[in-house]
Amino acid sequence: MTIDTDDTQPRHFLDVDDLSEEELFAVLDRADEYKRAVEAGEDHADLSGQTLGMLFQKASTRTRVSFETGMTQLGGHAIFLGEDDIQLGRGEPLKDTSRALSRYVDAVMARVFKHENIEVLAEYSSVPIVNGLTDDAHPCQTLADLLTIREHEDGLEDVSAAWIGDGNNVAQSFALGCALTGVDLTIATPEGYEVDDAVLERARELGGDPTATTDPVDAVTDADIIYTDVWISMGQEDERDVRMDDFAGFQVSSDLLEHAPEASVMHCLPAHRGEEITDDVIEGERSVVFDQAENRLHAQKALLSWLLE
Ligand code: CP
Ligand code: NVA
């Protein structure tokens, strides 16, 4: 019998386009099922006896808690591995960490600084690696975002979204997710903070046609979704003064919302009120930010059970 060696390799989820369009929709549909199961109080211990390692080089509230809770609800177990609690913090190479973890756990979710670091984890892992955020990408966030848009817009067809602010990790994965699902996207950033050209090119290869602009009003006019994130991401704290100047005019405020009377407002959280978004907008009736946060749980459970089945 011929063994197809590709079948012996684990599937990793380093960015949204590691899934095909069909696979992405399958994960979203499974997330809907898990959400219904939680609401109905139905048992869904699909990962009974399985363990997720959760490696963190950066802080987290939502990612950490939603993955750990998700594994509990699926009948499995999750182990928090803070960088400074394991030998990685004392200089053990990532490739050794990855190979050792592979011998114990069924999957690893990792939040690291450089995107290349998650690629090293994946290269040396014999179990699926899930990107829980890198400097360049946040694909688990995108799964929850698409689930949220689908719920609030009654589908993903004919939806137009506007990204306002930094062309950062969240924006880049969102651009790929919009491209895969047919969501029309306009990205408004100050000059010098654009989404990487290579990411825009990948989005186009997926069939998307993201528009880039430096005009937030242009971007949000008649949009269905307005999405923003912090101006200073983890690891960029030294750039605070420059960034505060450069992002002036990119705040999601009630004035900006006047140009999109029907739009829902999204934010991956944590939010910095008074910087990228005003308090009245994030607390307002058009804000769906806590639906997004909840959907992290359902989307990631779906991703894990799909990767591990
Ligand atoms: N949105 C998000 O990833 O939140 P945390 O940093 O709290 O995990
Ligand atoms: N862009 C933010 C997202 C946090 C979830 C950061 O990287 O800090």
Of the candidate CATH numbers 3.40.50.1370, 3.40.50.300, 3.30.565.10, 3.20.20.70, the domain formed by 139-293 belongs to: 3.40.50.1370
Mean pLDDT, residues 269-275: 98
- Is 273 considered catalytic here? no
Which of 141, 251, 292, 300 is catalytic? The answer is 141
pLDDT score at 268: 98
Q: Find the 234 Cα to ligand 2 centroid distance in Å.
A: 6
Tens digit of pLDDT for each residue in 185-238? 999 999 999 999 999 999 999 999 999 999 999 999 989 999 999 999 999 999
11 among known catalytic residues: no
249: region left, alpha or beta (phi > 0 left; psi from -120 to 50 alpha): left
The answer to whether 74 and 45 have CB atoms below 8 angstroms apart is yes
Nearest-ligand number for the alpha carbon of 297: 1
**Is the distance from the beta carbon of residue 61 to the nearest atom of ligand 1 less than 6 Å?**
yes
Instruction: Provide the residue ranges of all domains of the chain, joining segments of one domain with +.
Output: 16-138+296-307, 139-293
| pLDDT in the model for residue 74 | 98
- Rounded mean pLDDT, 15-43: 98
- Give the atom of ligand 2 at the shortest distance from the alpha carbon of 233: 8
- Whole-number pLDDT of residue 9: 87
**Are 210 and 49 contacting, i.e. CB atoms less than 8 angstroms apart?**
no
DSSP 12: -
pTM (two decimals): 0.97
Q: Distance between the two ends of the chain, CA-based, in angstroms? A: 23
158 to 155, 186, 266: CA distances (angstroms)? 8, 14, 18
CATH architecture of 16-138+296-307: 3-Layer(aba) Sandwich (3.40)
Could you give the CA distance from residue 112 to residue 59 in angstroms, rounded to a whole number?
10
Q: What is the mean pLDDT of the chain?
A: 97
Candidates 58, 68, 133, 288: which one to mutate for ligand 1, based on the most atoms within 8 Å of Cβ? 133
